[in-house]
């Protein structure tokens, strides 16, 4: 029989900490983040509306002492966020006008996007929804009822996209209920989930998550958001493997970001690694011009050059479509 005393005092191995605990325990203070990564404090640091949020499991994928680390640069506030950039606005995609309900975006034919929550597993400084008017938790539940009714009332909708924020910050019991309610809508065929959590907190890929994704009549599709090969450690590789092994098609989307992944070597390494993990690169996004993110912009001509260079070295299926979101087009605009 195992000795109960030793069992109790043994600390849980890092990978065994639940994703909920990891999210609750994430770093939420810029000063702490800088201390943990051996970086000097930032003089101009202010209380941010869009505050710091970095799960501790990500810290092991960042080089301490390097403020230009390509993973950290995505999450560390910097003074450039306050630089004047008149063409960068709070709602660059005109999403407020694509809102057909408090949490429903019907921008493209056949697909409806539900903003399930404003909560994320990490705060990306370039996020195009950093100024999005998210609802309070109470209003969210009502808005969801309304969104489901609207989807049910539109027979042209074949696919629902759960987005956010990050939909996988919701509990699996809640998500399973949403999936069940969606499956009852006869004209729906597919259920797509857009999330960054399998990358930033790989423990999020639980058996329960796989159970509701696999258990629904709808064809599930997972789109993971990832920007740099250093975001993939062994736990992330294993989490993506669990999804693919379960038969869930997994695609990736990446934002082209200056100082993060605007070199052909970084992009080639990312897409090749993803393909090796059976994740198909789907989109490379041109940065949306959201206020505070101008320092991340890469010129479109440079993006096209990068895609051409990738095409010259990778199999065709490993090169994502380079796209830009525009307020009025019937689809994302393919740049290369």
Ligand X SMILES: *Cc1c(COP(=O)(O)O)cnc(C)c1O
Interface ranges with ligand X (CB under 6 A): 98, 105, 107-108, 111, 113, 161, 325, 331-332
Least distance between ligand X and beta carbon 331 (Å)? 6
Least distance between ligand X and beta carbon 220 (Å)? 15
> Which of ligand SF4, ligand X, none does residue 324 bind (CB under 5 to 8 Å by kind)?
none
Torsion of CA 12, 16, 19, 22, to 10 degrees: 30
**Spatial CB neighbours of 215, under 8 Å, sequence gap ≥ 6:** 176, 179
Size of the site for ligand SF4 (CB under 6 A): 11
Least distance between ligand SF4 and beta carbon 256 (Å)? 13
Cα–Cα dist 91/86, whole Å: 13
Q: Which two tokens stand for residue 265?
A: 């070597």
* 127 counts as binding ligand SF4 under rule CB under 6 A: yes
Given 196, 204, 228, 285, the residue binding ligand SF4 (CB under 6 A): 196
Q: Which of 37-45, 62-70, 118-126, 180-188 is the region at the interface with ligand SF4 (rule: CB under 6 A)? A: 118-126
Residue number, 120 or 203, with CB nearest to ligand SF4: 120
Cα–Cα dist 198/204, whole Å: 6
Interface of this chain with ligand SF4, residues 221 to 260, rule: CB under 6 A: 225
* 129 counts as binding ligand SF4 under rule CB under 6 A: yes
Q: Which two tokens stand for residue 196?
A: 């960054």
> Which of ligand X, ligand SF4, none does residue 105 bind (CB under 5 to 8 Å by kind)?
ligand X
Interface of this chain with ligand SF4, residues 66 to 95, rule: CB under 6 A: none
Cα–Cα dist 311/313, whole Å: 6
Sign of CA dihedral 56, 59, 65, 71: negative
* 120 counts as binding ligand SF4 under rule CB under 6 A: yes
Pick the closest to residue 233 from 9, 58, 74, 2 (CA basis): 58
* 122 counts as binding ligand SF4 under rule CB under 6 A: yes
* 124 counts as binding ligand SF4 under rule CB under 6 A: yes
> Which of ligand SF4, ligand X, none does residue 204 bind (CB under 5 to 8 Å by kind)?
none
- How is residue 263 annotated by DSSP? S
Least distance between ligand SF4 and beta carbon 254 (Å)? 11
Q: Which two tokens stand for residue 188?
A: 């729906």
Contact status, residue 166 vs residue 127, Cβ threshold 8 Å: no
Least distance between ligand SF4 and beta carbon 132 (Å)? 8
Q: Which two tokens stand for residue 209?
A: 């998550």
Residue number, 95 or 166, with CB nearest to ligand SF4: 166
Pick the closest to residue 29 from 47, 15, 14, 11 (CA basis): 47
Given 166, 172, 262, 288, the residue binding ligand SF4 (CB under 6 A): 166
Helix (H, G, I), strand (E, B) or coil at 107: strand
Cα–Cα dist 164/52, whole Å: 17
**Binding residues for ligand SF4 (CB under 6 A):** 120, 122-124, 127, 129, 164-166, 196, 225
């Amino acid at each position: 029989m195992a000795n109960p005393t030793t069992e109790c005092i043994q600390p849980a191995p890092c990978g065994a900490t639940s994703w909920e605990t990891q999210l609750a325990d994430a770093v939420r203070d810029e000063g702490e983040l800088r201390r943990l990564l051996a970086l000097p404090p930032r003089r101009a640091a202010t209380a941010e509306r869009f505050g710091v949020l970095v799960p501790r499991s990500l810290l092991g994928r960042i080089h301490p002492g390097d403020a230009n680390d390509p993973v950290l640069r995505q999450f560390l506030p910097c003074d450039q966020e306050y630089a004047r950039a008149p063409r960068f606005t709070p709602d660059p995609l005109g999403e407020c006008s694509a809102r057909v309900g408090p949490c429903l975006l019907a921008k493209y034919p056949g697909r409806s996007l539900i903003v399930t929550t404003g909560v994320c597993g990490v705060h990306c400084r370039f996020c195009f929804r950093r100024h999005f008017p998210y609802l309070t938790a109470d209003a969210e539940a009502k808005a969801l009822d309304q969104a489901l009714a609207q989807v049910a009332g539109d027979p042209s909708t074949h696919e629902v996209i759960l987005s956010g924020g990050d939909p996988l910050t919701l509990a699996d019991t809640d998500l399973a209920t949403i999936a069940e309610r969606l499956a009852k809508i006869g004209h729906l065929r597919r259920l797509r989930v857009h999330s960054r959590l399998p990358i930033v907190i790989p423990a999020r890929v639980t058996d329960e998550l796989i159970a509701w994704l696999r258990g629904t009549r709808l064809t599930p599709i997972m789109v993971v958001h990832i920007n740099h090969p250093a975001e993939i450690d062994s736990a992330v590789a294993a989490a993506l493997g669990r999804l693919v092994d379960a038969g869930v098609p997994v695609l990736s989307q990446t934002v082209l970001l200056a100082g993060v992944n605007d070199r052909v070597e970084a992009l080639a390494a990312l897409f090749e690694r993803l393909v090796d993990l059976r994740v198909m690169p789907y989109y490379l996004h041109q940065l949306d011009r959201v206020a505070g993110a101008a320092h991340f912009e890469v010129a479109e001509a440079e993006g096209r050059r990068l895609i051409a260079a990738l095409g010259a070295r990778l199999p065709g299926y490993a090169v994502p479509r380079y796209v830009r979101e525009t307020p009025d087009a019937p689809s994302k605009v393919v740049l290369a």
